[in-house]
Amino acid sequence: MLRSAGPLVVIVSVLLFAAPACRRATPKDTETENIVPVAVEPVQLGTIRGAVSATGQVTVVPGAEVALVAPQTARIAEITRNVGDKVKSGDVLVRFEFPSLHVESIARAATVRAAELRVKNAKGVQDRLHGLIDRGAASRMEVDAADREVDEAETELAQARATQSATDAQGQNAVIRAPFDGVVSQRLHSPGDTVGTSEIDTILKVLDTKQVQVTATVAAPDAKRFAVGAFAHAMAEGAPAPELLRVMARPEAERGSTTVAVTLTFERPTALTPGTQVGVEIAAEQRSNVPLVPAIAVLRDPDGAAAVFVAVGNVAQRRPITSGIVDTEHVEILSGLKAGELIVTQGLSNLRDGTAITITER
């Protein structure tokens, strides 16, 4: 009996010493696993500028569309462009036929020839009489009459030639050329049509595609957050970079309207064409010396309520806040925080109110 008790005593002793060691390790390991490593940043005072987001469309500046009409009543012989075709300044767009102008041109030429003949004959008589008066074979009255005839004939010739030049100039207007680089926006007639000189007989309309602007629709309350002259950026799908714009017009909202149409002009030449859809960001109000926190630190509840986690010692406390202006990097704090408090910026997904933390980065 005594010999068999020795080994049993040894085993029991080992177990008794081992058990307390196991009990001490478990709480320590558990405590370490529940501590969440986080990064923090202090609430800082700074300056932030708001922005109003909107959708817009590239449109043509008023007056950038020109209506092309005939210089006088004419028959269209040819139209060289269709809707959507690009044109260069000076390109021939329309050719005309002027049946009445051709007849008038023949008549004017005949009048000039008759006037030239009268001048020739008058000068012949004048030269002959001036020679005769020197020999006493012609009277002074006859010479004076010959001089007057030459003057009258030359005046008649000058008038005939001026009229012929005006007729020829009309003939040179037998074409319409593009007034600038652009695109044909409308075609309202076809070859063979007879057209007049008023806008109701417009043949083509041409857009100056370089004269464009952006028209954006913003909510009426947001329209009060920026002024005429404010800078903005417009981004089109697939564009390599945003375009710089400036607010040109911001009318007051009409009674009962919830939106306002804002007009923005490009600060630099743009390749965007009329009809292009763009996203617009308009620089709005600016606030200085206000509490700011990183945008990534702000949590939003489904109902829109905002909160942050504040590092208080080695514990994370969830703190409701009221936010103001938001930009791409920061959020303005209206209430709930003060400058200098440490805000958790990394490790948020593992936090609950009261979670133990260790700060790994400031």
Give me the pLDDT at residue 104, please.
67
Identify the pLDDT of residue 322: 95
pLDDT surpasses 80 at 179? yes
Q: Residues 139-162: what's their mean pLDDT?
A: 87
Q: Let me know if 258 is exposed, middle or buried by CB neighbors in 10 A (0-12, 13-18, 19+).
A: exposed
**273 & 355 share domain:** yes
Q: What Rg value do the Cα atoms of the chain yield, rounded? A: 46
d(CA 308, CA 298): 5
Residue 15 lies in a domain: no
Q: What are phi and psi of 259, to 5 degrees?
A: -130, 165
Farthest CA pair distance, the chain = 190
Residue 126 lies in domain: 99-171
How many H-runs (helices) and E-runs (strands) does the chain carry?
4, 21
Same domain, 190 and 105: no
Share of the chain above pLDDT 90, in %: 51
**Residue 213 shares a structural domain with residue 356:** yes
Q: Are residues 223 and 266 in the same domain?
A: yes
Sequence-separated (6 or more) residues with CB below 8 Å from residue 12: none
Res. 5 pLDDT band, cuts 50 70 90: very low
- For the chain, what percentages of helix, strand and coil (3-state, to nearest 5) are there? 30, 40, 30
Each residue of 205-219: pLDDT tens digit? 998 888 899 999 999
Residue bearing the bigger pLDDT, 317 or 272: 317
How confident is the model at residue 315, as a pLDDT? 94
Instruction: Find the mean pLDDT for residues 212-237.
Output: 93
* Last-in-domain residue among 186, 207, 228: 207
Q: The domain spanning residue 153 has which CATH number?
A: 1.10.287
C-alpha to C-alpha distance for 316 and 351, rounded to whole angstroms: 7
Q: How confident is the model at residue 88 (pLDDT cuts 50, 70, 90)?
A: very high
Instruction: Mark whether 137 and 191 lie in a shared domain.
Output: no
Q: What is the pTM of this model?
A: 0.55
| Residue 3 is assigned to a structural domain of this protein | no
Residue 254: CATH number of its domain: 2.40.30.170
Same-domain status, 157 and 272: no
Q: Identify the burial level of 176 via C-beta atoms within 10 angstroms of its C-beta, where 0-12 means exposed, 13-18 middle and 19 or more buried.
A: buried
**Is the pLDDT reported for residue 170 higher than 90?**
no
Residue 75 bridge partners (DSSP): 97, 194
Do 240 and 346 reside in the same domain of the chain?
yes
Pairing of strands 355-361, 315-326: antiparallel
Distance (Å, whole) CA 206 – CA 196? 19
Number of domains in the chain: 3
- Sole residue written with tokens 């001089």: 147
Average pLDDT along the chain: 85
pLDDT score of 167: 64
Higher pLDDT, 72 or 298: 298
Burial of 125 (0-12, 13-18, 19+ CB in 10 A): middle
Residue 298: name the closest of 290, 288, 310, 289 by CA.
310
Q: Is the pLDDT of residue 293 over 90?
A: yes
User: Burial of 73 by CB count in 10 Å (0-12 exposed, 13-18 middle, 19+ buried)?
Assistant: middle
Q: What is the CATH number of the domain that holds 201?
A: 2.40.50.100
Cβ atoms of residues 42 and 341 within 8 Å: yes
